[in-house]
C-alpha cells in the first residue's frame, strides 16, 4: 500500500512538473477560462488527452515513436505551422483588444474551441516526447506500480487543468479592461510564435 501511494505521489508530481509551464495549450486554456467560453469541454479534452498519452507511455508506446522518427518530423511541421497561424491571430487581437464586457469581442464557438484545443494538444511533438517517452520511461522504473504512477500523473493533469480553466475566472475583473487583453494576447502571440518557430526549425533539421 505504501509503495502504491509513493508511486502515485511520484506520478502526480512528475505529471505536474511536465505541464505546469508556459506553453500553447496552457495559454489557450487560460484564455478560455478568463472569457468563460467552452471551459468544460476544453478542460475535459485536455485532461482526457493527457490520460490517453500517459497510458500510451506506461504501456510502452514510446518505443514506437522512437522507432519511427519521421512521425515527430511530420507532427513538428504541422504543429509549427498551426502555432504560427494562431500566433498571428493572437497578435491581431492584441492590436485590437476586447474585454469581458457584454459588448467586447466575439465569443468563440464551442466547436472552434474544441478543434483548436485538439490541434494545440495533438500537433505538439513535445507532448509525445514529454508525456509518452519521458513520463513513460519514469513509469517503467516503478515496475509493477507503473500503472499507479500513471494514475497519479493523470490526476495531476486533472487538477492542473481544472485549476487553470476554472481558476482563471478570478482574473475576470482585471481582464475586463481591453489593455489587459492587449498584454495577455501579446504574450500568447510571442509564446506561440517562439514555440512554433522552434518546432519548424527542429523538424527541418
Summarised one tens digit per residue, pLDDT across range 50-90 is: 999 999 888 876 565 566 667 667 767 777 787 788 788 87
pTM, two decimal places: 0.72
Evaluate if residue 98 carries a pLDDT over 50. yes
Q: What's the rounded Cα separation, in Å, for the pair 46 and 24?
A: 12
DSSP 132: I
Note the pLDDT tens digit of each residue in 101-141: 433 455 668 899 999 999 988 988 778 877 887 777 777 77
79-90 residue pLDDT tens: 778 778 878 887
* Domain boundaries of the chain, sorted by first residue: 2-204
Element spanning 158, H or E: helix 146-167
Provide, rounded to the nearest whole percent, the portion of the chain with pLDDT above 70: 81
CA distance 123 to 78: 6
Q: CA-to-CA distance for 106 and 118, rounded, in angstroms?
A: 21
Task: List all residues 6 or more positions away from 45 whose beta carbon is below 8 Å from its beta carbon.
Answer: 114, 117, 118, 121
> Region 172-196: what's the mean pLDDT?
76
Distance between CA atoms of 154 and 51, rounded to whole angstroms?
A: 5
CA R_g for the chain: 18
Distance of CA 136 to the CA centre of its chain: 18
For residues 14-40, one letter each, b for 16 or more C-beta atoms within 10 angstroms of the residue's C-beta and e for the rest, the string is bbbebbeeebbbbbbbbbbbbbebbbe
148-169: burial string, b at 16+ Cβ within 10 Å, e else: bbbbbbbbbbbebbbebbeebe
Among left, alpha and beta (phi > 0; psi -120 to 50; other), residue 22 is beta
The answer for residues whose C-beta is within 8 angstroms of residue 69's C-beta and 6 or more apart is none
Phi-psi region of 143 (alpha: psi -120 to 50; beta: other; left: phi over 0): left
- In sequence order, what are the residues at sequence separation of 6 or more whose Cβ sits closer than 8 angstroms to the Cβ of residue 200? 76, 77, 80, 81, 84
C-alpha cell recorded at residue 112: 472552434
Amino acid at each position: 500500500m505504501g509503495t502504491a501511494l509513493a508511486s502515485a505521489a511520484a506520478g502526480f508530481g512528475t505529471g505536474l512538473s511536465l505541464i505546469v509551464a508556459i506553453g500553447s495549450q496552457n495559454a489557450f486554456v487560460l484564455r478560455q477560462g478568463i472569457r468563460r467560453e467552452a471551459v468544460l469541454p476544453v478542460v475535459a479534452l485536455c485532461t482526457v488527452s493527457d490520460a490517453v498519452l500517459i497510458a500510451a507511455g506506461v504501456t510502452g508506446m514510446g518505443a514506437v515513436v522512437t522507432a519511427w522518427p519521421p512521425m515527430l518530423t511530420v507532427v513538428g511541421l504541422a504543429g509549427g505551422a498551426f502555432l504560427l497561424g494562431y500566433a498571428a491571430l493572437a497578435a491581431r487581437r492584441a492590436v485590437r483588444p476586447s474585454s469581458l464586457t457584454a459588448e467586447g469581442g466575439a465569443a468563440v464557438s464551442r466547436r472552434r474551441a474544441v478543434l483548436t484545443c485538439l490541434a494545440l494538444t495533438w500537433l505538439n511533438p513535445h507532448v509525445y516526447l514529454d508525456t509518452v517517452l519521458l513520463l513513460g520511461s519514469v513509469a517503467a522504473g516503478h515496475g509493477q506500480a507503473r500503472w499507479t504512477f500513471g494514475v497519479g500523473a493523470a490526476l495531476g493533469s486533472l487538477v492542473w487543468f481544472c485549476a487553470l480553466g476554472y481558476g482563471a475566472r478570478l482574473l475576470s475583473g482585471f481582464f475586463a479592461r481591453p489593455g489587459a487583453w492587449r498584454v495577455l494576447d501579446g504574450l500568447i502571440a510571442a509564446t506561440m510564435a517562439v514555440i512554433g518557430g522552434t518546432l519548424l526549425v527542429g523538424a527541418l533539421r
